[in-house]
Structure 1
C-alpha cells in the first residue's frame, strides 16, 4: 500500500479500515439457486399468501446433521499466571488428531406465554462409536477391557440404523404430547450417507437443496457453538471427547437455539432477495434486545412485493 504501518493502524482504530473474515462458500449452479428459492418459498404459510407472506414457525421440523469433533486443536491459546508453567501437550501426529463423528438432532424450542421453557427442542446427539475389548495389555488397561473406538468410516447403512433405532424412538419419547398427531418433518442435507427420503421405514423427511448449509440450523450456527463449548473441557480419550460434546449439547441455551431458527428465516428472506445466491450478509435483527423487551417474534414476515417478484422470476425460469 506504500504507507506506514502506523497510518494503517490509526485508520483501523478510528474505523476507516475494517477487519473482515472471508469464508469459502459452496459453488452454486443455476439449478441450485432455483432449488434454494423454491425451498424458501415452501417455508411460507400458505394461508398468508400472497398479500402477507409469513414464514412457518417450523416447530414440527427436526434438523439433523453430522459433524466431526476433534480431540484438540493444533494450537491452543491459554491465559496463565506469571509463575504458572506452560501446558505441555503431546500427540503422535498433528495430522491425525483423534476425532469422532456425532449426529445431532434439534427442533425449535417452545415457551409458554410467560416465557418459561416447555420443550427444549433437544432431541439428542448420537456418536458413531464402537466398544471393543482390548487385544493386548498396556500400562493403561488390561487385555479384555472394553475400549471406546471412533468409527473411521460412516456409511449410509450405519446412518440409517442410527436414525431408525436411536433418533426416531427418542423423538417419540420427547415430542410434546399436545402435538402427538401432527406430522413431523426431519430435514437433512443431500449427503450420500443420508437416508433416502422414500425409505418406507423412515418417517417424513425433507431434503434441503444441495450446497445449502445455510438452510439448516445445525450448519448455520448450532454445531459451531457446540464445538466451541466442547473446548472448555480437556478430553484425553474418545469416551471423554464424546462426553464433552454431549455436555456442550445439553448446556446450550434454548433461548439461543430459538434465535438461530429466527436467523434461518432471515437467511431465507435474504436468499429470495438475491435469487438463490449465497453472496449475502446475514441480517442483524438485534434479537437479544427484542427478547429482553419481550418483543421477539416467532415468525418473520416477507415483503409481498418480494414474493411476487420471485414468483415472476420462477415463471420465467429466473
Structure 2
C-alpha cells in the first residue's frame, strides 16, 4: 500500500489578500502556477525527505477537485514524479470521501475531550482513572 503526501488546496482564481513567506499580496494562483509549484517544490521535497528504500513504491499526492489543480495524468507532472526511478503520482480526493463527510464530524467532537485532557502524574491516579 502506498503512502500519502498531501498538497495544500488552492482555490480557483485565488488572489492572495495578504503577503506571506510563500507569496506577495495580490498574486493570482492559476493551474500553471500550481503545476510549477508541484514540479519545482513539492515533488523535489518529497524526494529529498522520503526514505530511499521506498523509492520504487507508489507515493500518492492527494489533491481536492479545485479547478487550478493539475490533472493526474499531466505529462510534465508524471515525468517529474517518475524521474530518478521514483513513482510519485497525483490523485483526486473523491467527492464523497470520509474526509468531507459531515456525519463524521460528531466523532471528532466526541473524541476531542479525551485528547485534550491532562495526564495523571502519579501511578495511583492513573489506576483510579481506568
User: TM-score category by the smaller chain?
Assistant: 0.5 to 0.7
After TM superposition, what 4+ stretches of structure 1 lie above 6 angstroms from structure 2? none
Q: What is the CA–CA distance in structure 1 between the aligned matches of 2:36 and 2:26, rounded to whole Å? A: 14
Cα distance change, pair 66–151 in 1 and its aligned pair in 2 (3 A): farther
Match of 1:186, SS state, is: strand
Counterpart of 2:103 in structure 1 is 279
Match of 2:34, SS state, is: helix
Query: Which of 10, 15, 18 matches 1:99?
Result: 18
Gaps of 5+ in 2: 82-88, 118-130
Tell me how far 1:167 sits from its aligned partner: 1.1
Point out the structure with the larger helix share.
2
Tell me how far 1:287 sits from its aligned partner: 5.5
Counterpart of 1:210 in structure 2 is 95
Counterpart of 2:65 in structure 1 is 190
CA contact (8 A) 2:9 2:66 kept: no
Tell me how far 1:150 sits from its aligned partner: 2.8
1:62 is aligned to 2:5: yes
Tell me how far 1:100 sits from its aligned partner: 4.2
Cα distance change, pair 288–178 in 1 and its aligned pair in 2 (3 A): farther
Normalized against structure 2, the TM-score is what? 0.60
Q: How far does the alpha carbon of each residue in 1:101-160 deviate from its partner, in whole angstroms, 9 at most, with x for none?
A: 7xxxxxxxxxxxxxxxxxxxxxxxx82x2xxxxxxxxxxxxxxxxxxx334311100000
Counterpart of 1:165 in structure 2 is 40
Match of 1:192, SS state, is: coil
Query: Which of 156, 173, 189 matches 2:31?
Result: 156
CA RMSD, Structure 1 to Structure 2 (Å): 3.4
Q: Which has the larger radius of gyration?
A: 1
Tell me how far 1:173 sits from its aligned partner: 0.9
Normalized against structure 1, the TM-score is what? 0.27
Q: What is the CA–CA distance in structure 2 between the aligned matches of 1:282 and 1:199, rounded to whole Å? A: 37
Q: What is the CA–CA distance in structure 2 between the aligned matches of 1:194 and 1:151, rounded to whole Å? A: 20
Match of 2:7, SS state, is: strand
Match of 2:28, SS state, is: coil
Count residues in correspondence: 100
Tell me how far 1:169 sits from its aligned partner: 1.0
CA contact (8 A) 1:65 1:189 kept: no
Tell me how far 1:211 sits from its aligned partner: 7.1
Q: What is the CA–CA distance in structure 2 between the aligned matches of 1:177 and 1:166, rounded to whole Å? A: 18
